[in-house]
Amino acid sequence: MRAVVQRVKNASVTIHHKVHASIHQGMLVLIGVEDSDTNQDIDWLTRKIVNLRIFDDDQGVMNRSVNDIGGEMLIVSQFTLMASTCKGNRPSYIRASKPPFAMIMYDAFCNTIDQYTKTPVKTGVFGADMQVELINDGPVTIIIDTKLKE
């Protein structure tokens, strides 16, 4: 699994010109799934994201987690995160899981992360054409890949 985590002042997902979900201060998390992903990847990634200390403490140091600040989370599936750009100029999405498996993993990820957060997780709609708006705070953007564990 690959995640792009963005610290946001607010974020929203619009589908068919209607706001589907929105959050205030917290995290926008984009998630990509590949066929080799497992429940262990979900467990590792959810704990990593919920505990990321990317919010400022009283001294202005990024030392607080989303739970520490009572922040919200918006999670959006994005198969293009699994793109390979090593050949040519057209990205290959061969590593991205097909919808039946990816949807199961995305739902499991959202349900698992919801268990660790203090506020209910909000989501996009798997496979929908979504417009995502955000105000990235900082900007702070972190990329996490369960295969690299950097």
Residues acting as catalytic residues: 80
> For the chain, what is the total number of helices (H) and then of strands (E)?
2, 8
Residue 55: which residues within 8 A CB-CB, separation 6 or more? Answer: 7, 62, 63, 64, 65, 66, 68, 69, 71
| Contact predicate 5/142, CB 8 Å | yes
What is the SS3 assignment for 67?
Answer: coil
Residue of 103, 116, 114, 115 whose CA lies nearest to 37: 103
| Backbone torsions φ then ψ of 32, nearest 5 degrees | -120, 140
Give the DSSP H/E element, type plus range, for residue 46: helix 39-51
Pair of tokens at residue 59: 């001294």
